Structure 1
Amino acid sequence: MTDRRFVAACLQMRSGMTVAANVDEAVRLAREAASGGASYLQTPEMTNVLVRSREELFDRILPEEADPALAAFQELARVLKVWVHVGSLAIRLEGERAANRAFVIDPSGEIVARYDKIHMFDVDLPDGESWRESQTYRAGEQAVVVDLPWGRLGLTICYDVRFPTLHRALAENGAELLASPAAFTRKTGEAHWHVLLRARAVENGAFVIAAARGARHEDGRETYGHSLIVDPWGRVLAEGGEEPSVIMAEIDVSKSPDIRKRIPSLENGRRFAVQPLPSAPAMLHDVNP
């Protein structure tokens, strides 16, 4: 591997309840990014549809082999000769369940990696709002890394960003690039989006690429936007606003091993025991310096 530099693009979207319209928006942004020199394009979480009602969701989604959005993105990768990372699609599974599934597609249109979101956002908020992703989506059980021409990419989706052990495991398995496509709510995004993504970059000595959704959506929800590309030192290389847009940055993956030598937390981490209370079992934990 000689030249480890490439231009990454985040396609910030405002997906609604109609799959075809969402695909059209993504294709328009992808063409803009490719014409600007990007060779890796990332879309947000739930690129194909964003709808609150479980019944309406299942009226709109299909199994992977029949999904029109996935087929469109495979064709887009072939036509533009770029890597297309679909942040995630809602994919129908058996038994009235769905997967929140990411796809990495190479420039020939072949799917080279799939990742099902591991961590489900299940919460009851003080204002009465409630989310139960696990009632609709089957949680993934496998962390995934994939080799791009410039370096190894670790896949995550949205709520996964709050679980640093997943990102550490990806980094320990060679990922120098970490993907975090998302649909953060406005309130949590304003409070935590930047600090979480920059922390994942710094503690792993990795670039973080995070395509987001922004503004008010057709189903009434508001997402934060502010797609980010962050370097391993925690510097923000590119940031979006709230509206649909393309953000791009040149990434030199060779900077990741250089920074890991300066702050060798991956090498210095150790296993340790926590002294338990009399009624609690001992547990082992990873050190995060």
Structure 2
Amino acid sequence: MMFKAAAVQMCSGVDPARNAETMAELVREAALRGAGYVQTPEMTGAIQRDRSGLRSILRDEANDIVVRKAARLAGELAIYLHVGSTPIALADGKIANRGFLFGPDGAKICEYDKIHMFDVDLENGESWRESAAYHPGATARIADLPFGKLGFSICYDVRFPELFRQQAVAGAEIMSVPAAFTRQTGEAHWEILLRARAIENGLFVVAAAQGGTHEDGRETFGHSMIIDPWGRVLAQAGRTGEEIIIAEIDPLAVHTARAKIPNLKNARSFVLDEVVPAGKGGAAA
């Protein structure tokens, strides 16, 4: 079943209400252009570097403004609306980096919490410790939708190919990669990682991104992309600012790609053996 997928690029600020309105405007336009599945970026509801400032504006899932507006939008527009992620306050004081998928009736189909935490020190002096504030997810998830099986990931998850492989083996035909990649890491790795995940698993990748300089001073890379199972970029946004990209998705292309390169079927288990040569701690021959 062919369908149109849209990736909505944003430059979210610190005010969830304003971000929710921006999201709504872009989602409405994407639906007007024929998209049946619309994905927004990681941290749609707020990008705020200051942890105490972020916590002060957060709500639990039941009261989150982005979640509530997205549910209404999905029902009003009769689309599958995927909030790539938004920060959700948890009872233990930590935050969930949580994505939501809503169906055409406005009901929540499922949610996904980002599994891998971005704890890194970059060469330009940037330092990130997501684990200090965020509670990592522990469950990978696939949604069996009328147009295909959709797998979930968020941003840094893209660097962990085993997450994508397990979902592909379980039947995923489209992988979502909503993100807020830093400018530095995006310039180096964004496109090649997305294309690699598509090629090695023979599936579509839809990646809505944050792009631009945010209110808190953070710079994100943008370049939202939709990629086919052969690794071809079907649609791509620019470096900064709000934008909507749309591509037609044919799930049959997944089966065609996997028939040509049947690596999912050909995978074998193996034993890893480390050899220590004599003279480097090993026994003499």
Choose from 30, 34, 54 the match for 1:33. Answer: 30
Aligned to 1:281: none
Higher strand fraction (1 or 2): 1
1:277 Cα deviation after fit: 5.2
1:194 aligns with one of 179, 187, 191: 191
Which of 15, 40, 50 is the equivalent residue of 1:43?
40
Cα separation, 1, equivalents of 2:34 and 2:60: 33
Q: Is the aligned partner of 1:258 residue 2:256? A: yes
**Unaligned residue ranges in structure 1 (runs of 5+):** 279-289
Name the counterpart of 1:285: none
Secondary structure of the residue aligned to 1:76 is helix
Number of equivalences: 275
- Distance in 1 between residues matched to 2:126 and 2:275, nearest whole Å: 36
SS at match of 1:16: coil
Q: Which residue identity does 1:54 align to in structure 2?
A: R
Q: Of the candidates 5, 11, 14, which is equivalent to residue 8 of structure 1?
A: 5
Shift of 1:130: 1.1
Supply the distance in 2 between the matched residues of 1:32 and 1:58 (Cα, whole angstroms).
31
| Residue 143 (1) aligns with residue 122 (2) | no
Task: Give me the CA root mean square deviation.
Answer: 0.9
1:178 to 160, 175, 196: 175
The letter for the 1-side match of 2:54 is L
Give the structure-2-normalised TM-score.
0.95
CA shift for structure 1 position 150: 0.6
What amino acid sits opposite 2:105 in the alignment? S
Question: C-alpha deviations, 1:20-61, integer Å up to 9, x for none?
Answer: 110111101011101100010000001000000110110011
Shift of 1:253: 0.7
Report matched runs for 1:84-233 at 5 Å: 84-233=81-230
| AA at the equivalent of 2:90 | L
Q: Which runs of 5+ in 2 are unaligned?
A: 277-285
Measure, in 2, the Cα distance between the counterparts of 1:127 and 1:238: 30
- Cα distance in 2, alignment partners of residues 225 and 128 from structure 1: 21
Distance in 2 separating the partners of 1:265 and 1:58: 44
Corresponding letter in the other structure for 1:174:
G
Aligned to 1:63: 60
Q: Cα distance, 1:126 vs. partner?
A: 3.3
Identity %: 52
Amino acid at match of 2:250: D
2:266 equivalent in structure 1: 268
CA distance in 2, matches of 1:263, 1:167: 17
Q: State the distance in 2 between where 1:208 and 1:180 align.
A: 7
Secondary structure at the aligned position of 1:272 is classed as coil
CA distance in 2, matches of 1:136, 1:88: 15
Counterparts of 2:124 and 2:9 in 1: how far apart (Å)? 28
Cα distance, 1:128 vs. partner? 2.9
What is the CA distance between 1:123 and its match in structure 2? 1.2
- In the TM superposition, residue 246 of structure 1 has moved relative to its aligned partner by 0.5
CA distance in 2, matches of 1:68, 1:187: 31
